[in-house]
Amino acid sequence: MDRKYVLTALGYAIAGMLLGIVMAGTRDHNQLVTHAHMMLLGFVVSFIYALCHKLWLGNTTSTLATVQFYLHQIGTFCLAVGLYLLYGNYISIDTIDPFLATASIVVFIGLILMAVLFVKTPAEAQPDK
């Protein structure tokens, strides 16, 4: 599971950095919020989740870990796309707001499931113990 997270984290880092470079090159920073979400939720949080799996969760591939992974990735991707559409003025806030709210809740549920994974993993089963 850690490898999946690192690969998606690097994918978001590449996409987020490209968006940042485009913003700098065009001097149009309307996508700043999109860029920040891609870098923080996509890259940083995914990378932190990879470390959690590698260092403390025994790199589990349980059903709960798989569901948590996909919820985080789907929610983050939907947020990035929705924010891109919103801040690119391709769609109105009234239209995209329910989509963004749902995606945010999905990411939040993914965070709760990561906490559940930690609670369910006995301390003696963790690699550093």
Count CB-CB contacts under 10 A for residue 4: 18
What's the confidence (pLDDT) of residue 127? Answer: 58
What's the confidence (pLDDT) of residue 45? Answer: 98
Nearest to 77 by CA among 12, 21, 4, 19: 12
Q: What is the DSSP letter of 121?
A: S
Q: Could you tell me the pTM of the whole model?
A: 0.90
**pLDDT tens across the length of the chain (129 residues):** 899 999 999 999 999 999 999 999 999 999 999 999 999 999 999 999 999 999 989 888 899 999 999 999 999 999 999 999 999 999 999 999 999 999 999 999 999 999 999 898 876 555 555
Q: How far does CA 83 lie from the centroid of its chain? A: 14
Nearest to 79 by CA among 65, 64, 59, 97: 97
